[in-house]
């Protein structure tokens, strides 16, 4: 772990499970501060075409209880605006193994100069056939 390195992760974190916890532990290994950006209910509905089981408030409370999380942040309501990145200026964005769309979108924003160039690191899957939220519903 490097001094003062800020790591940011994005996710819905609905019905927190072992896969989420493993992802957050992996992310924390990359820096001193772990900032978790939790998707707004409205963003989840737009992206996944369904509401999360838990409200954004419930998901925020659950994330705040996890050891190693420095800050829990409610994400932007406008998709791809990335104001949380501009505000908190992470050194690393740690992506879930299945966050391909997010990685492409972030790279496109970096190329266009809409956000600073930030190191992107992709997580290894943790038992994806067992611990993917869509399978647990």
Those residues with Cβ within 8 angstroms of residue 134's Cβ, 6 or more apart along the chain or in another chain = none
pLDDT per position as a tens digit, 60-105: 999 999 999 999 999 988 877 899 999 999 999 999 998 999 999 9
How much is the pLDDT for 130? 54
- Sheet containing 92-95: which strands, arranged edge to edge? 71-74, 33-38, 6-11, 92-95, 119-122
Domains detected in the chain = 6-136 (3.40.50.620)
């Amino acid at each position: 772990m490097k001094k003062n390195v800020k790591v940011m992760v994005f996710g819905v974190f609905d019905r927190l499970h072992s896969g989420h916890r493993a992802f957050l532990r992996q992310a924390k290994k990359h820096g001193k501060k772990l900032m978790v950006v939790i998707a707004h209910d409205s963003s989840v509905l737009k992206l996944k075409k369904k509401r999360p089981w838990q409200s954004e408030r419930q998901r925020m409370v659950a994330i705040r209880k996890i050891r190693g999380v420095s800050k829990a942040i409610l994400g932007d309501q406008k998709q791809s605006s990335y104001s949380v990145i501009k505000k908190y200026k992470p050194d690393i964005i740690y992506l879930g193994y299945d966050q391909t769309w997010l990685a492409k979108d972030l790279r496109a924003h970096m190329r266009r100069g809409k956000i600073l160039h930030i190191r992107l690191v992709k997580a290894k899957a943790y038992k994806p056939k067992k611990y993917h939220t869509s399978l647990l519903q």
